[in-house]
Amino acid sequence: MSHAPQSLNPSCDKPLLVLGFESSCDETGVAICSTEGKILGQALHSQIAMHKDYGGVVPELASRDHIRRLIPLMNTALEQAQLSLKDMDAIAVTTGPGLPGALMAGCAFAYSLAAGLGKPVIPVHHLEGHLLSPLLSANPPSYPFTALLVSGGHSQLMAVEGLGRYSLLGETLDDAAGEAFDKTAKMIGLPYPGGPALSKLAEQGDPKRFELPRPMMHSKDLMMSFSGLKTSVLTTAMKLAGVSSPSETMVLTETDTCDLAASFQAAIVDVLVNKSLKACKQSGHQRLVVAGGVGANKHLRERLLAEAKRKKIEVFFPELSLCTDNGAMIAFAAALRLAENPSLLNDADYAMLTRPRYALHELQA
Protein backbone atom coordinates (compact mmCIF):
# COMPACT_ATOMS: atom_id res chain seq x y z
CA MET A 1 0.00 0.00 0.00
CA SER A 2 1.33 3.43 -0.86
CA HIS A 3 1.71 6.02 1.85
CA ALA A 4 0.28 8.84 -0.20
CA PRO A 5 -3.15 10.00 0.90
CA GLN A 6 -5.55 10.73 -1.92
CA SER A 7 -7.61 13.82 -2.41
CA LEU A 8 -11.12 12.53 -1.86
CA ASN A 9 -13.51 15.42 -1.89
CA PRO A 10 -16.61 13.97 -3.55
CA SER A 11 -18.22 17.32 -4.44
CA CYS A 12 -15.24 19.00 -6.14
CA ASP A 13 -11.64 18.28 -7.09
CA LYS A 14 -10.15 20.58 -4.48
CA PRO A 15 -8.32 18.86 -1.61
CA LEU A 16 -9.90 19.20 1.83
CA LEU A 17 -8.22 21.36 4.48
CA VAL A 18 -7.68 20.51 8.14
CA LEU A 19 -6.71 22.98 10.86
CA GLY A 20 -4.95 21.02 13.61
CA PHE A 21 -4.08 21.89 17.21
CA GLU A 22 -1.54 20.26 19.56
CA SER A 23 -1.37 21.15 23.27
CA SER A 24 -0.74 17.88 25.11
CA CYS A 25 2.38 18.94 27.01
CA ASP A 26 4.74 21.91 26.74
CA GLU A 27 4.43 22.87 23.08
CA THR A 28 1.52 24.69 21.49
CA GLY A 29 1.34 23.79 17.81
CA VAL A 30 -1.07 24.78 15.05
CA ALA A 31 -0.95 23.72 11.41
CA ILE A 32 -3.02 23.49 8.25
CA CYS A 33 -2.74 20.31 6.20
CA SER A 34 -4.51 19.30 2.99
CA THR A 35 -5.82 15.82 2.20
CA GLU A 36 -3.00 15.69 -0.35
CA GLY A 37 -0.69 15.56 2.67
CA LYS A 38 0.74 19.06 2.24
CA ILE A 39 1.45 21.32 5.20
CA LEU A 40 0.29 24.76 4.06
CA GLY A 41 1.04 26.71 7.22
CA GLN A 42 2.32 25.99 10.70
CA ALA A 43 3.26 27.75 13.91
CA LEU A 44 4.78 26.45 17.12
CA HIS A 45 5.53 27.81 20.56
CA SER A 46 7.76 25.93 22.99
CA GLN A 47 7.31 26.56 26.73
CA ILE A 48 10.88 25.49 27.55
CA ALA A 49 11.95 28.96 28.71
CA MET A 50 8.92 29.18 31.02
CA HIS A 51 9.46 25.77 32.69
CA LYS A 52 13.27 25.92 32.82
CA ASP A 53 13.48 27.55 36.25
CA TYR A 54 11.37 24.73 37.73
CA GLY A 55 13.51 21.93 36.23
CA GLY A 56 10.49 20.37 34.49
CA VAL A 57 7.00 21.00 33.13
CA VAL A 58 4.63 22.70 35.59
CA PRO A 59 1.20 21.47 34.42
CA GLU A 60 -0.82 24.48 35.59
CA LEU A 61 1.54 26.93 33.88
CA ALA A 62 1.49 24.79 30.75
CA SER A 63 -2.34 24.91 30.52
CA ARG A 64 -2.48 28.68 31.03
CA ASP A 65 0.19 29.27 28.42
CA HIS A 66 -1.59 27.11 25.82
CA ILE A 67 -4.71 29.26 26.29
CA ARG A 68 -2.66 32.42 25.66
CA ARG A 69 -0.89 31.04 22.57
CA LEU A 70 -3.58 29.21 20.62
CA ILE A 71 -5.22 32.16 18.85
CA PRO A 72 -2.03 34.04 17.86
CA LEU A 73 -0.44 30.81 16.58
CA MET A 74 -3.58 29.94 14.64
CA ASN A 75 -3.53 33.37 13.01
CA THR A 76 0.14 32.96 12.09
CA ALA A 77 -0.49 29.55 10.50
CA LEU A 78 -3.50 30.87 8.56
CA GLU A 79 -1.53 33.90 7.37
CA GLN A 80 1.31 31.68 6.22
CA ALA A 81 -1.13 29.54 4.26
CA GLN A 82 -2.94 32.67 3.01
CA LEU A 83 -6.20 31.09 4.06
CA SER A 84 -8.96 31.99 6.47
CA LEU A 85 -11.02 29.99 8.96
CA LYS A 86 -13.92 29.72 6.55
CA ASP A 87 -11.65 27.83 4.11
CA MET A 88 -11.16 25.00 6.61
CA ASP A 89 -13.13 21.77 6.13
CA ALA A 90 -12.38 20.25 9.53
CA ILE A 91 -10.73 21.01 12.86
CA ALA A 92 -8.33 18.46 14.38
CA VAL A 93 -7.06 18.37 17.94
CA THR A 94 -4.97 16.12 20.19
CA THR A 95 -7.38 14.52 22.65
CA GLY A 96 -4.76 12.39 24.45
CA PRO A 97 -2.55 11.13 25.91
CA GLY A 98 -1.04 14.08 27.75
CA LEU A 99 -1.39 16.43 30.70
CA PRO A 100 -5.10 16.73 31.59
CA GLY A 101 -5.21 20.54 31.84
CA ALA A 102 -3.06 21.04 28.75
CA LEU A 103 -5.30 18.74 26.71
CA MET A 104 -8.39 20.52 28.03
CA ALA A 105 -7.02 23.90 26.94
CA GLY A 106 -6.47 22.79 23.33
CA CYS A 107 -9.66 20.74 23.13
CA ALA A 108 -11.92 23.39 24.66
CA PHE A 109 -10.64 25.89 22.11
CA ALA A 110 -10.73 23.54 19.10
CA TYR A 111 -14.21 22.15 19.85
CA SER A 112 -15.65 25.62 20.48
CA LEU A 113 -14.10 26.92 17.28
CA ALA A 114 -15.47 23.98 15.30
CA ALA A 115 -18.94 24.37 16.80
CA GLY A 116 -18.89 28.09 16.02
CA LEU A 117 -17.82 27.44 12.44
CA GLY A 118 -20.16 24.47 12.03
CA LYS A 119 -17.21 22.25 11.03
CA PRO A 120 -16.49 18.70 12.20
CA VAL A 121 -13.83 17.85 14.78
CA ILE A 122 -11.35 15.05 14.09
CA PRO A 123 -9.89 13.89 17.43
CA VAL A 124 -6.24 12.82 17.11
CA HIS A 125 -4.18 10.47 19.27
CA HIS A 126 -0.92 12.25 20.07
CA LEU A 127 1.19 9.14 19.44
CA GLU A 128 -0.49 8.52 16.11
CA GLY A 129 0.66 12.02 15.17
CA HIS A 130 4.25 11.06 16.06
CA LEU A 131 3.95 7.67 14.39
CA LEU A 132 2.79 9.10 11.05
CA SER A 133 5.13 12.13 11.04
CA PRO A 134 7.86 10.32 9.02
CA LEU A 135 5.30 10.13 6.17
CA LEU A 136 5.71 13.90 5.86
CA SER A 137 9.40 13.60 4.98
CA ALA A 138 10.93 13.71 1.49
CA ASN A 139 11.46 9.95 1.52
CA PRO A 140 8.36 8.53 3.24
CA PRO A 141 7.98 4.84 4.15
CA SER A 142 5.20 2.62 2.75
CA TYR A 143 3.12 0.34 4.95
CA PRO A 144 3.71 -2.06 6.60
CA PHE A 145 6.47 -1.00 8.97
CA THR A 146 7.67 -1.43 12.53
CA ALA A 147 7.79 1.76 14.57
CA LEU A 148 9.97 2.75 17.48
CA LEU A 149 8.05 5.45 19.34
CA VAL A 150 10.31 7.18 21.83
CA SER A 151 9.05 10.32 23.53
CA GLY A 152 9.05 11.88 26.97
CA GLY A 153 6.09 9.77 28.06
CA HIS A 154 6.30 6.61 25.93
CA SER A 155 8.73 4.01 24.64
CA GLN A 156 6.92 1.53 22.45
CA LEU A 157 7.49 -0.77 19.52
CA MET A 158 4.48 -1.03 17.23
CA ALA A 159 3.66 -3.10 14.17
CA VAL A 160 1.94 -0.77 11.70
CA GLU A 161 -0.04 -2.49 8.94
CA GLY A 162 -1.84 0.62 7.74
CA LEU A 163 -3.56 3.77 8.94
CA GLY A 164 -5.13 2.97 12.34
CA ARG A 165 -3.92 -0.64 12.23
CA TYR A 166 -1.41 -0.71 15.03
CA SER A 167 -0.42 -3.50 17.39
CA LEU A 168 1.85 -3.23 20.35
CA LEU A 169 4.99 -5.38 20.14
CA GLY A 170 6.72 -4.17 23.28
CA GLU A 171 7.14 -1.22 25.61
CA THR A 172 9.02 0.03 28.64
CA LEU A 173 8.09 -1.39 32.01
CA ASP A 174 9.02 1.82 33.80
CA ASP A 175 10.56 5.09 32.56
CA ALA A 176 10.16 6.18 28.96
CA ALA A 177 13.40 6.74 27.04
CA GLY A 178 12.91 10.53 26.99
CA GLU A 179 12.05 10.50 30.69
CA ALA A 180 15.30 8.57 31.38
CA PHE A 181 17.25 11.17 29.38
CA ASP A 182 15.55 14.01 31.27
CA LYS A 183 15.95 12.51 34.76
CA THR A 184 19.58 11.50 34.15
CA ALA A 185 20.40 14.93 32.78
CA LYS A 186 18.91 16.54 35.89
CA MET A 187 20.99 14.27 38.14
CA ILE A 188 24.23 15.36 36.48
CA GLY A 189 23.28 19.02 36.71
CA LEU A 190 21.95 19.73 33.22
CA PRO A 191 19.00 22.02 32.55
CA TYR A 192 15.52 20.96 31.38
CA PRO A 193 14.81 19.56 28.85
CA GLY A 194 17.59 17.11 29.56
CA GLY A 195 17.55 15.03 26.38
CA PRO A 196 19.03 17.60 23.97
CA ALA A 197 21.41 18.99 26.66
CA LEU A 198 22.73 15.55 27.59
CA SER A 199 23.20 14.41 24.00
CA LYS A 200 25.14 17.59 23.21
CA LEU A 201 27.57 16.96 26.09
CA ALA A 202 27.80 13.29 25.17
CA GLU A 203 29.40 14.27 21.86
CA GLN A 204 32.52 15.37 23.75
CA GLY A 205 32.60 12.40 26.18
CA ASP A 206 34.02 8.88 26.22
CA PRO A 207 31.12 6.41 25.89
CA LYS A 208 33.30 3.53 27.11
CA ARG A 209 34.58 5.08 30.34
CA PHE A 210 31.72 3.85 32.53
CA GLU A 211 30.27 0.38 32.11
CA LEU A 212 26.58 1.04 32.62
CA PRO A 213 23.94 -1.71 32.43
CA ARG A 214 21.81 -2.36 29.33
CA PRO A 215 18.65 -3.51 31.19
CA MET A 216 16.65 -6.29 29.50
CA MET A 217 18.66 -5.92 26.29
CA HIS A 218 19.01 -9.65 25.89
CA SER A 219 15.56 -10.64 27.12
CA LYS A 220 13.72 -12.63 24.44
CA ASP A 221 10.70 -10.32 24.46
CA LEU A 222 10.45 -6.72 23.29
CA MET A 223 9.96 -5.18 26.71
CA MET A 224 12.37 -2.50 27.94
CA SER A 225 13.33 -0.92 31.26
CA PHE A 226 15.31 2.25 31.84
CA SER A 227 14.94 3.09 35.52
CA GLY A 228 17.88 0.86 36.61
CA LEU A 229 20.16 2.58 34.13
CA LYS A 230 19.26 5.94 35.64
CA THR A 231 20.03 4.60 39.13
CA SER A 232 23.44 3.36 37.92
CA VAL A 233 24.23 6.84 36.65
CA LEU A 234 23.28 8.22 40.06
CA THR A 235 25.56 5.84 42.00
CA THR A 236 28.43 6.49 39.55
CA ALA A 237 27.96 10.24 39.86
CA MET A 238 27.87 10.01 43.68
CA LYS A 239 31.15 8.06 43.68
CA LEU A 240 32.79 10.57 41.36
CA ALA A 241 31.60 13.51 43.47
CA GLY A 242 32.55 11.75 46.73
CA VAL A 243 29.10 12.07 48.34
CA SER A 244 27.25 9.38 50.24
CA SER A 245 23.66 10.59 49.80
CA PRO A 246 21.82 11.72 46.66
CA SER A 247 20.50 14.71 48.63
CA GLU A 248 24.03 16.10 48.98
CA THR A 249 25.19 18.58 46.34
CA MET A 250 27.20 16.80 43.67
CA VAL A 251 29.93 18.66 41.81
CA LEU A 252 31.35 16.82 38.80
CA THR A 253 34.25 17.87 36.60
CA GLU A 254 33.44 18.72 32.99
CA THR A 255 35.20 15.55 31.80
CA ASP A 256 33.27 13.36 34.25
CA THR A 257 29.97 14.94 33.20
CA CYS A 258 30.69 14.47 29.48
CA ASP A 259 31.90 10.87 29.95
CA LEU A 260 28.90 9.99 32.10
CA ALA A 261 26.54 11.54 29.54
CA ALA A 262 28.24 9.64 26.69
CA SER A 263 28.20 6.33 28.63
CA PHE A 264 24.50 6.76 29.48
CA GLN A 265 23.59 7.63 25.92
CA ALA A 266 25.55 4.65 24.56
CA ALA A 267 23.72 2.30 26.94
CA ILE A 268 20.20 3.54 26.17
CA VAL A 269 20.88 3.64 22.43
CA ASP A 270 22.26 0.08 22.54
CA VAL A 271 19.00 -1.11 24.07
CA LEU A 272 16.79 0.83 21.64
CA VAL A 273 18.74 -0.36 18.58
CA ASN A 274 18.81 -3.96 19.76
CA LYS A 275 15.08 -4.08 20.56
CA SER A 276 14.10 -2.30 17.33
CA LEU A 277 15.95 -4.82 15.18
CA LYS A 278 14.51 -7.67 17.21
CA ALA A 279 11.03 -6.17 16.66
CA CYS A 280 11.60 -6.04 12.86
CA LYS A 281 12.68 -9.67 12.93
CA GLN A 282 9.51 -10.59 14.83
CA SER A 283 7.16 -8.58 12.60
CA GLY A 284 8.98 -9.55 9.40
CA HIS A 285 9.00 -5.89 8.32
CA GLN A 286 11.88 -4.53 6.24
CA ARG A 287 11.10 -0.95 7.24
CA LEU A 288 11.70 0.67 10.60
CA VAL A 289 10.20 4.05 11.43
CA VAL A 290 11.48 6.10 14.37
CA ALA A 291 9.33 8.85 15.88
CA GLY A 292 9.00 11.00 18.99
CA GLY A 293 11.36 13.45 20.68
CA VAL A 294 14.19 10.95 21.31
CA GLY A 295 14.14 10.26 17.56
CA ALA A 296 16.02 13.57 17.27
CA ASN A 297 19.01 11.98 19.02
CA LYS A 298 21.97 11.99 16.64
CA HIS A 299 23.68 8.95 18.11
CA LEU A 300 20.45 6.91 17.95
CA ARG A 301 19.97 7.90 14.30
CA GLU A 302 23.54 6.99 13.33
CA ARG A 303 23.55 3.66 15.18
CA LEU A 304 20.15 2.62 13.85
CA LEU A 305 21.09 3.46 10.27
CA ALA A 306 24.37 1.52 10.52
CA GLU A 307 22.97 -1.57 12.29
CA ALA A 308 19.78 -1.77 10.23
CA LYS A 309 21.74 -1.56 6.97
CA ARG A 310 23.58 -4.74 7.91
CA LYS A 311 20.19 -6.46 8.25
CA LYS A 312 18.87 -4.90 5.04
CA ILE A 313 16.27 -2.92 6.95
CA GLU A 314 15.49 0.60 5.79
CA VAL A 315 15.14 3.23 8.53
CA PHE A 316 12.89 6.28 8.27
CA PHE A 317 12.91 9.34 10.52
CA PRO A 318 10.72 12.44 10.63
CA GLU A 319 12.35 15.74 9.73
CA LEU A 320 14.25 16.91 12.84
CA SER A 321 11.79 19.75 13.42
CA LEU A 322 8.91 17.24 13.46
CA CYS A 323 10.48 14.86 16.03
CA THR A 324 9.31 16.80 19.03
CA ASP A 325 5.70 17.90 19.51
CA ASN A 326 4.17 20.06 16.78
CA GLY A 327 0.85 20.90 15.16
CA ALA A 328 1.82 19.61 11.70
CA MET A 329 1.77 15.96 12.77
CA ILE A 330 -1.71 16.39 14.26
CA ALA A 331 -3.19 18.15 11.22
CA PHE A 332 -1.49 15.55 8.99
CA ALA A 333 -2.81 12.52 10.93
CA ALA A 334 -6.33 13.97 10.71
CA ALA A 335 -5.93 14.76 6.99
CA LEU A 336 -4.90 11.14 6.33
CA ARG A 337 -7.99 9.92 8.16
CA LEU A 338 -10.20 12.37 6.30
CA ALA A 339 -8.71 11.35 2.94
CA GLU A 340 -9.51 7.72 3.74
CA ASN A 341 -12.93 8.46 5.16
CA PRO A 342 -14.60 11.66 3.82
CA SER A 343 -17.75 10.84 5.80
CA LEU A 344 -15.91 12.32 8.79
CA LEU A 345 -17.09 15.64 7.35
CA ASN A 346 -20.63 14.77 8.42
CA ASP A 347 -19.68 14.31 12.05
CA ALA A 348 -21.06 17.12 14.18
CA ASP A 349 -20.36 15.67 17.61
CA TYR A 350 -19.05 18.41 19.89
CA ALA A 351 -19.16 16.32 23.08
CA MET A 352 -15.52 16.89 23.93
CA LEU A 353 -13.64 13.98 25.48
CA THR A 354 -10.01 14.28 26.54
CA ARG A 355 -8.09 11.11 27.38
CA PRO A 356 -4.93 11.83 29.43
CA ARG A 357 -4.19 8.09 29.47
CA TYR A 358 -4.83 6.55 26.08
CA ALA A 359 -3.05 3.56 24.53
CA LEU A 360 -2.34 3.80 20.81
CA HIS A 361 -3.38 0.24 20.07
CA GLU A 362 -6.88 1.12 21.39
CA LEU A 363 -7.36 3.24 18.27
CA GLN A 364 -9.60 1.95 15.52
CA ALA A 365 -8.77 2.11 11.82
Considering only residues 89, 256, 259, 325, which one is a binding residue for ligand KG4 as defined by CB under 6 A? 325
CA nearest neighbour of 25 among 197, 176, 172: 176
Considering only residues 134, 205, 207, 293, which one is a binding residue for ligand KG4 as defined by CB under 6 A? 293
Decide if residue 228 touches ligand KG4 (CB under 6 A): no
CA nearest neighbour of 334 among 103, 125, 148: 125
Measure the CA–CA gap between 192 and 151, rounded to whole angstroms. Answer: 15
Q: Closest approach of Cβ 130 to Zn ion, in Å?
A: 5
User: Which residues ranging from 297 to 316 are in contact with ligand KG4 (CB under 6 A)?
Assistant: 297
Considering only residues 33, 160, 280, 296, which one is a binding residue for ligand KG4 as defined by CB under 6 A? 296
Q: Closest approach of Cβ 265 to ligand KG4, in Å?
A: 8
Q: Which is nearer to ligand KG4, 28 or 324 (CB)?
A: 324
- Window contacting ligand KG4 (CB under 6 A); options: 43-51, 187-195, 220-228, 252-260: 187-195
Size of the site for ligand KG4 (CB under 6 A): 20
- HEC sequence for 226-287: CHHHHHHHHHHHHHHHCCCCCCCCCCCCHHHHHHHHHHHHHHHHHHHHHHHHHHHHHHCCCE
Query: 359 in helix, strand or coil?
Result: coil
Measure the CA–CA gap between 109 and 74, rounded to whole angstroms. Answer: 11
Give me the 25-64 binding string for ligand KG4, x by CB under 6 A, dash otherwise. x---------------------------------------
Query: 94 in helix, strand or coil?
Result: strand
Decide if residue 193 touches ligand KG4 (CB under 6 A): yes
Q: Which is nearer to Zn ion, 132 or 216 (CB)?
A: 132
Measure the CA–CA gap between 184 and 88, rounded to whole angstroms. Answer: 43
CA nearest neighbour of 39 among 295, 317, 294, 322: 322
Reported residue count of the chain is 365
- Window contacting ligand KG4 (CB under 6 A); options: 35-43, 176-184, 236-244, 353-361: 176-184
Binding-site ranges for ligand KG4 (CB under 6 A)? 25, 130, 151-153, 178, 181-182, 193-196, 199, 292-294, 296-297, 324-325
